[in-house]
Amino acid sequence: MSRLRLIAGAVDGPQPVESDERLPDGEALDAYSRTVTAVAERLRPSVANLRVGRRTRWGRREGGGSAVVITPDGYMLTSAHVVDGSERSAQAAFPDGRSFSAEVVGTDPLSDLAVLRTEAGNLESAQLGDADALSVGQLVVAIGSPLGFHGSVTAGVVSALGRALPTRSRSAVRLVENVIQTDAALNPGNSGGALADGLGRVVGINTAVAGVGLGLAVPINDATRRIVASLMSEGRVRRAFIGIAGGARPLPPRFSSPGRETALEIVEVVEGSPAARAGLRPEDLIVEVDGRSMADVGELQRLMVAESIGRPLSARVIRGARTFTVEIVPVELDS
């Protein structure tokens, strides 16, 4: 078969000299390549290709994604939407050719995380890192199964931090905070796979492709670890609920002060909810809850944890020209 000719050879000029000599490894692998290669060698054995069966009106259909082994005894972390609507089981295939059945232990659509477990032992678990220590521009490596090609590796940088990803479960809506944005190539099937730092520590679970060169990953941090621990032990995540929707709004000048320029404006109050029973209304401004300033919806969301269920919370509210305090008793969110 004839040799392919370089495109550059179509114009006048010298042709490259053919040689059987190879660059020494030290020159062929620069620092960037060595880092990506080391991460891939370390992490690829811990990332599985998931095949998930679903029953639909048209019969049984199969979908796919990725999962990251987080314990040697078979616990794996993936995206909730990968196993959503599944038969509570999946098939996990690893780059070394091994394949195991896995059961869904628990899912949390409001964080887009799920935990599975396989009975296989001697799995190589990944080390979890801390996304809170990332910096914009930092090298990250994505490993997963785009379009079913498991063990695929792409690399890029952290494009932005602090993004918010809206999630929904029935009528409940939540923002996943501090989402990582990366330009590492992500495609369908990467969901549930690993986003790692230059030391091979998993700092995110790939969750969405927002556009070309725009991938998003749920961060691995203290909040995520608590969610994962709850899914492993209880199969679910308990959250408090007061029944409001809102967003940040600048405080009127008479109520603002240095360091406190915004509050949480109520846009909607769910009928019969704890907020409704406390007398809150749309357009009220929540300045403080349980002694914590409410600069945006994220501040309130961080309070809506299991420990707040049934515990009276004092809220300072601005309505028109007056300020008053109400007591709200959160209930458990039925998600």
- Residue in the block written with tokens 């556009």: 211
What single-letter DSSP state applies at residue 17? P
Q: Which of 2-11, 20-29, 309-318 has the lowest mean pLDDT?
A: 2-11
Q: How far is CA 289 from CA 164, 256, 260, 299, in A?
A: 22, 17, 14, 9
**131-222 architecture in CATH?**
Beta Barrel (2.40)
- Residue in the block written with tokens 């409940």: 172
Does position 165 have pLDDT exceeding 60, yes or no?
yes
List the catalytic residue out of 79, 108, 111, 112.
112
List the catalytic residue out of 46, 66, 79, 81.
81
Cα four-point dihedral sign 245, 169, 230, 74: negative
- What are 202's strand-pairing partners? 128, 196
pLDDT of amino acid 228: 95
pLDDT of amino acid 11: 41
pLDDT of amino acid 28: 57
Tell me, yes or no, if 191 is annotated catalytic. Answer: yes
List the catalytic residue out of 46, 79, 145, 191.
191
Residue 285: Cβ within 10 Å count: 22
Give the alpha-carbon dihedral of 267, 271, 277, 278, to 10 degrees: 0
Confidence of residue 27 (pLDDT cuts 50, 70, 90): low
pLDDT of amino acid 63: 81
What single-letter DSSP state applies at residue 150? T
More confident residue, 166 or 101: 101
**Phi then psi dihedrals of residue 223, to 5 deg:** -65, -45
Task: Compute CA 74 distance to the chain's CA centroid, rounded to the nearest angstrom.
Answer: 21
pLDDT of amino acid 182: 95
pLDDT of amino acid 54: 74
Percent pLDDT > 70 in the chain is 88
**Max Cα–Cα distance, the chain, nearest Å:** 85
Q: Is 207 helix (H, G, I), strand (E, B) or coil?
A: strand
Tell me, yes or no, if 150 is annotated catalytic. Answer: no
Average pLDDT over residues 87-105: 90
Residue 192: Cβ within 10 Å count: 33
Tell me how far apart the alpha carbons of residues 125 and 312 are, in angstroms, rounded to a whole number.
Answer: 41
Q: Start-end ranges of CATH 2.40.10.10 in the chain?
A: 131-222
pLDDT of amino acid 172: 67
Give the model confidence (pLDDT) of 215-225 as tens digits: 999 999 988 99
pLDDT of amino acid 12: 46
Does position 178 have pLDDT exceeding 90, yes or no?
no
pLDDT of amino acid 8: 36
pLDDT of amino acid 256: 86
pLDDT of amino acid 2: 43
Residue 177: Cβ within 10 Å count: 19
Confidence of residue 36 (pLDDT cuts 50, 70, 90): very high
Which CATH number does 240-332 carry?
A: 2.30.42.10
Tell me how far apart the alpha carbons of residues 52 and 64 are, in angstroms, rounded to a whole number.
Answer: 6
Give the mean pLDDT of the chain. Answer: 86
Q: Start-end ranges of CATH 2.30.42.10 in the chain?
A: 240-332
Residue 278: Cβ within 10 Å count: 19
Residue 329: Cβ within 10 Å count: 15
Out of 9-23, 24-38, 150-164, the most confident range is 150-164
Tell me, yes or no, if 20 is annotated catalytic. Answer: no
More confident residue, 235 or 297: 235
More confident residue, 234 or 172: 234
Does position 14 have pLDDT exceeding 70, yes or no?
no
pLDDT of amino acid 59: 67
Confidence of residue 9 (pLDDT cuts 50, 70, 90): very low
- Give residue 55's identity as a one-letter amino acid code: R
Average pLDDT over residues 14-41: 71
Give the model confidence (pLDDT) of 267-286 as tens digits: 989 899 999 999 999 999 99
Q: What is the model's pTM?
A: 0.79
